[in-house]
Chain A
Amino acid sequence: MEFDRELDARGLNCPLPILRCKKALAEIDSGKVLKVVATDAGSVKDFQAFCKQTGNALLSFAEGGGEFTFFMRKR
């Protein structure tokens, strides 16, 4: 999937992936896509909850090799 910005949140634990994601989203324009890679297993539910509550669209989620990759479109 194409993206406009990437955030490496590997090795970070709750709530840092969400906080860094919030910052990264603030730095891109509405409609742009942010890719996030995380290793925190809790981030799977957390990013779903984050997107649901902030109105950003979670486009896709994939898991592989202990890494979780999310694509979200800024509202």
Chain B
Amino acid sequence: MAKKLAIIASKGTLDWAYPPFILASTAAALDYEVQIFFTFYGLTLLKRDVDDLKVSPLGNPAMPMPVPMPNLMQMLPGMESMATLMMKQKISDKGVASIEELRSLCQEAGVKLIACQMTVDLFDFRKEDFIDGIELGGAATFFEFAGEADVSLFV
């Protein structure tokens, strides 16, 4: 029987969008059965357009910067856009896949994507906001799969 990987994706920034999709697509390539449960800000990763995902240097002292920059400067208008632009440039320079590509590879490989119904309601999202082929479910839905999973991760 195939091994199972269950992931909770709770973050919606460009950097944190990577771990769930990288791990899910790779596990699928290793013949795992995979489900990702998207909740709170993670729901953003299921939107049709993920081009506007951002990364913020604010409150993230580990983010490599070309020049050292005090926190106060990082909250100035435009800093977030600049950091995002730089990150996207790096991503393409280094041959790292885009989120959109990894996400569609996950779907092709049969990774089940589940949007948390409660947070969809909380944020007034509509199912039409999301890509096709996803399911809606609650915590019990997650545990139905995670309870039998070999690996469970919270991102």
Q: Is the CB of B31 within 8 A of A15?
A: no
- Chain B residues near A21 (CB, 8 Å)? 29
Q: Is the CB of B30 within 8 A of A14?
A: no
Chain A minimum-CB-distance residue to B30: A53
| Separation of A50 and B26 alpha carbons in the complex (Å) | 9
Known A19-B26, A50-B30, A53-B30: A13·B105 in contact at CB below 8 Å:
no
Known A14-B22, A15-B22: A50·B29 in contact at CB below 8 Å:
yes
Report if B73 contacts A (CB, 8 A).
no
Q: Is the CB of B25 within 8 A of A15?
A: yes
Report if B97 contacts A (CB, 8 A).
yes
Report if B126 contacts A (CB, 8 A).
no
CB within 8 A of B95: which of A11, A22, A53?
A: A11
Q: Which of A23-40 contact B (CB under 8 A)?
A: 40
- Chain A residues near B109 (CB, 8 Å)? 19, 22
> Total contacts A to B, CB within 8 angstroms?
36
Q: Is the CB of B29 within 8 A of A13?
A: no
| Separation of A61 and B66 alpha carbons in the complex (Å) | 37
Q: How far is the CB of A8 from chain B (nearest CB, A)?
A: 12
Report if A59 contacts B (CB, 8 A).
no
Q: Is the CB of B26 within 8 A of A13?
A: no
Chain A minimum-CB-distance residue to B102: A15
Q: Is the CB of B22 within 8 A of A13?
A: no
| Separation of A64 and B22 alpha carbons in the complex (Å) | 28
- Chain B residues near A44 (CB, 8 Å)? none
Q: Which of B29-60 contact A (CB under 8 A)?
A: 29-31
Q: How far is the CB of B108 from chain A (nearest CB, A)?
A: 9
Q: Is the CB of B29 within 8 A of A15?
A: yes
Q: Is the CB of B95 within 8 A of A18?
A: no
20 contacts between A and B (CB under 8 A): A11-B95, A13-B94, A13-B95, A13-B96, A13-B97, A14-B22, A14-B96, A15-B22, A15-B26, A15-B29, A15-B97, A15-B102, A16-B97, A18-B29, A19-B29, A19-B109, A21-B29, A22-B29, A40-B95, A50-B29
Q: Which 7 A-B pairs have the closest CB atoms?
A: A22-B29, A13-B95, A15-B26, A11-B95, A13-B96, A12-B95, A53-B30
